Amino acid sequence: MIGAICDPENEWQQPPVLCTAPIKYQFAKFKNDGYNRSGKGNLKLQLINQREDFSFALFSGGLLKPKLIAVSNMVTFANPKAPVYPRLAQGKSWDEMTITWTSGYNIKEAVPFVEWGAKGGPRFLSPAGTLSFNRNSMCGAPARTVGWRHPGYIHTSFLKDLWPDSKYTYRLGHRLPNGTQVWSKIYSFKASPYPGQDSLQQIVIFGDMGKAEADGSNEFNDFQPGSLNTTNQIIRDLKNIDMVLHIGDICYANGYLSQWDQFTSQIEPIASTVPYMIGSGNHERDWPGTGSFYGNLDSGGECGVPAQTVFYTPAENRAKFWYATDYGMFRFCIANTEEDWRPGTEQYKFIEQCLSSVDRQKQPWLIFLAHRVLGYSSCTYYETEGTFEEPMGREALQELWQKYKVDLAFYGHVHNYERTCPVYQSQCVVDASDHYSGPFKATTHVVVGGAGASIADSAFTTSNIQWSHFRDFDFGFVKLTAFNQSSLLFEYKKSHDGNVYDHFTISRDYRDVLACSIDNCPRTTLAS
């Protein structure tokens, strides 16, 4: 029943307290002479294809005591099952691109595939696999109760043997039993460069973006006011971006499953054009008794299932959500802070393997990424804990970063921006600067969790922290530009205007790391 009321089971079940949560809502607060005379008003709500018909309901009584007054006629899409919201991702090899999308067709109704090819060249057909999940896959409320909505069917196709830097076009297809084919519109992407290729390569990195409603509607977990600005700035600069890394707290659905569609629709102009690589955050994974490192309720009962299904990552086990991916001159090691990373664990072994196995002649720029701060943050929350990091975060990992000469480490979770000096064991090995040259000294740590979620609780400490060089309490993201094997530009941009507010360059010939392999990288200490 659309008007039935269900009392909240936990902190993530939010008002309006209806047993079937609305996708979004607006307040009908009309205060004008026209409304006073006629009693008529209007609202505008943007609808996206979510595989079902829509209706609008009018309630009185507010969010805590909603009373159903009226329900509209159904609003129907021409083909609600059509393929939508393609998401590109790097495959397990450099010359493979994966395309994931959502539809209303299960495998008995239609066969999913991708038609693709180089611009002006022959067309190919590649099959797609299909996944989904059901209410029982969820771990608790609201995902399993008032927030449940069928996610549709998630299809992934693998386009292989791509030519470096070549332009490709594609469209998503479903073949019905009667031979009819249902198509998406045509999209395009550029294939990855050859590993180690010396060319301009540009990467955007951020965490904690979420989604917001362009029509001004309210939604559940409505605390990502900066997300539209970030999304729009990236879209404006998309011709100068090769890949996006979103390191956790993806859409903040927190158990309201319709929000995954809202998010994939919001980022479609980006994710359909360049690889959109994600990491796991607390709002995707955490739930008591499910094996997550933190036993809190932050996923709203999702316990990682939607994130690992809606998006593809080239992980050996997608449920574990850690993986390596190379792009041209970059090696990215994406860790999962919601699973144990300490020495002796499977993830620790992955991190060391990822860092140690890189060929620095091909990928001179070695980047570590994780959601929670495993390095350094001067957020007041961490200061209160007396750690300036996630407890047990860097104690073992800093040995790996130093040994394998990790250039940069990125984190989200804290909703602000902060850059350290090149730091090791809480000491600046060299002074922070706008330019670094010469041999590697230590890793620079960056918090870039201000892509959209509320910054209200992420204030900086007033203490003078020696390793904290640049702080910004605003929404923004980072862009890395590798010009060649020895020159890298780092830029922090604010989301409201796209301008650069912090930057530095690295110039390095890397003779010190080219001799480095799994067993002959000497550990560097502050005394050496």
Rounded to two decimals, the pTM is: 0.96
pLDDT of res. 520: 55
Domain 84-191 matches domain 201-514 at the CATH topology level: no
pLDDT of res. 475: 97
Q: Would you tell me which CATH number, out of the four given (3.40.50.300, 3.40.605.10, 3.60.21.10, 3.40.50.1000), belongs to the domain 201-514?
A: 3.60.21.10
Rg over alpha carbons for the chain, rounded to the nearest Å, is 24
Rounded Cα gap, residues 455 and 449, in angstroms: 9
> What is the mean pLDDT, run by run of 10 residues, along the chain of 528 residues?
87 92 90 78 92 94 93 95 98 97 97 96 97 97 97 98 98 97 98 96 98 91 91 98 98 97 98 98 97 96 98 95 98 98 97 97 96 97 92 95 97 98 97 96 97 93 95 97 97 98 91 58 51
pLDDT of res. 349: 98
Rounded Cα gap, residues 260 and 133, in angstroms: 13
Judge contact between 373 and 409, C-beta under 8 A.
Answer: no
pLDDT of res. 515: 58
Phi and psi torsions of 227, nearest 5°: -65, -35
Domain 84-191 CATH superfamily: Purple acid phosphatase-like, N-terminal (2.60.40.380)
pLDDT of res. 528: 40
Name beta bridge partners: 183: 173
Is residue 119 classed exposed, middle or buried when 0-12, 13-18 and 19+ CB atoms within 10 A define those classes?
exposed
pLDDT of res. 382: 93
- Spell out the alpha helix ranges (H) of 3-58: 33-38
CB hemisphere CA count around 227 (13 angstroms): 26
Q: How far is CA 97 from the centre of its chain?
A: 18
**Domain segments of the chain: what residues?**
84-191, 201-514
Tokens (6 digits) for 108:
């008995």
Rounded Cα gap, residues 421 and 415, in angstroms: 20
